[in-house]
Structure 1
Amino acid sequence: MSFQRTRMSADRTLMSVIRTSLSLIGFGFTIFQFFQKLRDQNVVMHAGAARNFGIALVGLGIVMLIGGIIYHIQFMLHLRHQRDAMIADGLVHGESQFPVSLTLLTAIILLLIGVTAIVSMIFNIGPFG
């Protein structure tokens, strides 16, 4: 049971990284789009600083998400190796398997969306352009 609690704790940690990076990506994209629309309507002539700030926020969200995913994978591999060693020593039963982490899948999907958003912002292509 302690392995399952530790695994769920790691998932909660990754969820907090997902929430923070989602906020950064969403806020950065919103700032970018808002000032892009103002520039397109000739309300603001130079929106370069706001555009760069929006791109920086999205980039920060992506970098934070990549770090969280890497940390989560490393931690889960270490936990899995520790569990296998304890099973080999006969300290715990190895009847249950570690299921796929839905939190990790969600983080990877958000990472793909974030990368698509920043490519769209920088090169003005893609579904968000």
Structure 2
Amino acid sequence: MPDAPRNLNNELAKERNRAAAERTLLAWIRTSLSLIGFGFGIDQIVTAIQRTRRLDYLGTMYLARITGLAFIAVGLYAMLSATIEHRQELRRIQRDDYLYTPRRSNALVVAIALMVIGIFAFLGIIISTLN
């Protein structure tokens, strides 16, 4: 039994959607790598300061290390969730009954996580300078 003829416009629209999904995944990969690199950089700077000055401000150094790890964790979460969402999007595009369904925004989740990290880092710095 031969396959039903396909509408060329629909197939081209699917191809454009797939290309857009690929660009979106690449943007998330860049964002994730930036977050991971930033977190790693914070940790390396803290380690270098500890070695050169031989000082151990436990609160400040501990907070900086936790902040670096938090950036790495958010970067890993962004990468994982973007990969999962990309695979789901490709499956939706391949179906013939493609319909838009609203989904959770990865960007909103990452933005909220970064705001929480920023608030804790800000408060930690304020508290450490007051002591």
Q: CA deviation at 1:43?
A: 4.3
Deviation at 1:38, TM superposition (A): 1.3
- Identify the residue that residue 70 of structure 1 maps to in structure 2: 84
Count the aligned residue pairs: 84
Alignment partner of 1:13 out of 7, 24, 39: 24
| Aligned counterpart, 1:26 | 37
Is 1:45 the counterpart of 2:62 in the alignment? no
* Structure 2 unaligned spans of 5+: 1-11, 99-131
Q: Aligned with 2:53: secondary structure?
A: coil
CA–CA distance in 1 between the matches of 2:39 and 2:55? 18
Superposed structure 1 runs of 4+ greater than 4 Å apart: none
Listed as ranges, the matches of 1:51-90 within 5 Å are 51-82=65-96
Alpha-carbon RMSD across the aligned residues, in angstroms, is: 1.7
The answer for the alignment partner of 2:122 in structure 1 is none
Relative to the length of structure 1, the TM-score reads 0.60
Deviation at 1:41, TM superposition (A): 2.7
The aligned counterpart of 1:107 is none
Q: Corresponding residue for 2:116?
A: none
| C-alpha separation in 1, matches of 2:22 and 2:69 | 28
Deviation at 1:40, TM superposition (A): 2.4
- Structure number with larger C-alpha Rg: 2
Work out the CA distance in 1 between the residues paired with 2:13 and 2:83.
Answer: 22
Identity %: 33
- Per-residue CA deviations over 1:61-91 (Å, capped at 9, x if unaligned) read 0001111011100010111223xx79xxxxx
| C-alpha separation in 2, matches of 1:5 and 1:44 | 56
Q: Give SS of 1:41's match.
A: helix
